[in-house]
Amino acid sequence: MSNDCPFCGIVAGEIPGRIVFESDDVTAFLDANPLAPGHTLVVPNDHHERLTDLSEELAREVFAALHRLTPAVEAAADADGSNVAFNNGPAAGQEVPHLHGHIIPRFDDDGGAP
Ligand code: 5GP
Ligand code: ZN
């Protein structure tokens, strides 16, 4: 756990988060500033910054959660598709240094890819 990390705080229950899924290894919660209704973040419970900081086994767990949650998020948002993505490192736009996968619902009429 990293003390000044908001996602560690959410996983630990010390910072409020709208959690939609949790297991021993992975937690998913709604983004505080959603790019679309239902925008969900999927994180490993342990603090790791980048994709390659995860063990292959933990990466599999994170991806399995994304695989399971993506259709549920799309259905809950009544979306037509979604962007499922990681910003890996500050150069790629990663602002929170606790690896997280985004599930961003998309709609046929939402103006196209960002
Ligand atoms: P990044 O740019 O690092 O890939 O994305 C960070 C995401 O985390 C942003 O979409 C931002 O809205 C979200 N975020 C930042 N701080 C918090 C927080 O404290 N709680 C929640 N639920 N989301 C956060
Ligand atoms: Zn963290």
Phi, psi of 96 (to 5 degrees): -100, 120
Mean pLDDT of 10-29: 97
Q: Complex ipTM, two decimals?
A: 0.98
Q: In Å, what is the CA distance from 64 to each residue of 18, 60, 61?
A: 20, 6, 5
Please answer whether residues 94 and 87 qualify as being in contact, where contact means their C-beta atoms are separated by less than 8 angstroms. Answer: yes
The pLDDT assigned to 113 comes to: 62
> Ligand 1 in contact with 38 (CB < 6 A)?
no
pLDDT at 89: 96
Atom of ligand 1 nearest to the CA of 18: 22
Q: Using a 6 Å cutoff on CB, does residue 7 contact ligand 1?
A: no
- Which listed ligand is nearest to 19 at the C-alpha? 1
C-alpha 114/C-alpha 16 separation (Å) is 29
All domains of the chain in start order, with CATH: 6-106 (3.30.428.10)
Which of 36, 53, 49, 57 has the alpha carbon at shortest distance from 102? 36
The reported pTM is: 0.96
Residue 92's pLDDT is what? 97
CA 70 to mean position of chain CA atoms: 10
pLDDT(114) > 80: no
